[in-house]
Amino acid sequence: MAFRVLAVYPRDVTTRIGLFEDGSDVMRREIRHDEKELAKFHNAANQWSHRLRAIEELLSEWNPLGGAPPIDAVISLVWLPRDFPDGVYLVDCGLFESLDRLPPGENLSYLSLGALLAEALSRPRGGAAYAVSAFSSVEMDQIARLSGLPELSFGRTFQSIAVKDAMIRASAEIGMEFENISAIAAHLGKNFTICAYSGGRVRDLSVSNERGPFSTARPGALPAAEIIRMAYSGSWSRDELLESIMVSGGMASYTGITDLAEVSRSASRGDAFAGFVTRSMAYQVAQEISAQATMLCGKVDAIVLTGGCANDEALTDVIKEGVSWITDKIIVYPGTDRLMIMANCAFRVLCGKERALSLGDIVTAYGRDSSR
């Protein structure tokens, strides 16, 4: 049976949409909204009716017979409370109640907006409305959470759907079931995430704004005592120090550039320092991949490199050289196609390979008070 899925990805002043049938693209578009119109709304979530009209106009153009094209499911991203497990959720009243309890923040309201659009677009088409958790507070093994200070613990949110999608693709490529694969994924975006995967879940991970390798704009692991001295030196304000860690650290702090492709072009033109910084970043990624192999007791079926920086061969070649002793199955999936990743999540649910979660599932499985 052929399934048709609409993926919706709202961003600051744009909405990306993609129509997919049986895993293949039918059409993609990016709607650019008038910034002055969007500014009239209190927050992004309140923009849903404005954005909905623009999407409906575009969908009517896609359907040569006019009206709303039939769709089996609409899916978007959503930000869920930290104690909710990763997965695909039914968009229902319980989900909206959970979103209402999130702390205020413009970045969060964009992800709430996705659930509102999915519900509104699916209703007239008789399809299901799904929301996939954009970021997960990973359910990693407790032994990996201790930081060395009781007040702090490891396990930040990360782009869980991108990592899971890469793991599922890698499982199929090497002929294994997703639940049986033991692998290490390195998602190399602006913020690098290196994680050990087995039993269908993340067992341990590092992210570049917490520990592990530095990325294009994040510093990775830092000497704590020196950071404290910097903070109290009087040379840095709180906001300046936060910006250096969250926005302009890592590769950018050495080169003044956040675009790895531009740094690689400089290296190819003879900029020895640019090449050195790239190799150092790759070395630290390989080092962390090797460390994550400990969680898997050295049983590593594959190493997967994905994300935008995986397009850079200078980077991935050094990483491969550093980790080839762990396994000869090193798979590279460059880029992060969020629309396709979301659509794949919906297809897995529609095909019965994965079950959509609901708030009732969470309360039953975890014994949590739904008012939490």
- Whole-angstrom Cα distance, residue 296 to residue 113? 38
In terms of average pLDDT, the best of 59-73, 112-126, 158-172, 321-335 is 321-335
**Higher-pLDDT residue of 347, 61:** 347
Please name each of the domains of the chain with its CATH number: 4-136+338-366 (3.30.420.40), 160-334 (3.30.420.40)
Contacts of residue 370, Cβ cutoff 8 Å, sequence gap at least 6: 94, 97, 359, 363
Q: What is the mean pLDDT of residues 186-210?
A: 90
Burial class (CB in 10 A: 0-12, 13-18, 19+), 126: exposed
The amino acid sitting at 307 is G
Contacts of residue 280, Cβ cutoff 8 Å, sequence gap at least 6: none
Contacts of residue 87, Cβ cutoff 8 Å, sequence gap at least 6: 132, 133, 354, 356, 357
Residue 364 has pLDDT above 60, yes or no: no
Here the tokens at position 275 are 């090449």
- Give pLDDT, residue 91: 86
- Give pLDDT, residue 137: 57
For the stretch 128-165, pLDDT in tens is 999 888 766 566 788 888 888 888 787 666 778 888 89
Considering the chain, what percentage of its residues have pLDDT values greater than 90?
50
- Look-up of token digits 């990743």: 341
Helix (H, G, I), strand (E, B) or coil at 34: coil
Instruction: Give this prediction's pTM.
Output: 0.84
DSSP letter string over 167-231? HHHHHHHHT--GGG--EEEEEESSSEEEEEEETTEEEEEEETTTSSS--SS---S--HHHHHHHH
Residue 190 has pLDDT above 90, yes or no: no
- Give pLDDT, residue 63: 66
- Give pLDDT, residue 289: 97
Q: pLDDT band for position 371 (50/70/90)? A: very low
Edge-first strand listing for the sheet containing 201-207: 201-207, 192-198, 183-188, 302-307, 330-334
- Give pLDDT, residue 1: 66
Q: pLDDT band for position 365 (50/70/90)? A: very low
For the stretch 285-311, pLDDT in tens is 999 999 999 999 999 999 999 999 999
For the stretch 215-263, pLDDT in tens is 999 999 988 899 999 999 999 999 999 888 888 899 999 999 999 999 9
Check: CB of residue 255 under 8 Å from CB of residue 261.
no
Residue 368 has pLDDT above 50, yes or no: no
- Give pLDDT, residue 278: 96
Here the tokens at position 37 are 């119109």
Q: What is the mean pLDDT of residues 23-27?
A: 85
For the stretch 77-123, pLDDT in tens is 877 665 677 788 888 766 666 555 555 554 455 567 888 899 889 98
- Give pLDDT, residue 5: 94
Look over the chain and give the mean of its residue pLDDT values, rounded to a whole number. 85
**Higher-pLDDT residue of 326, 366:** 326
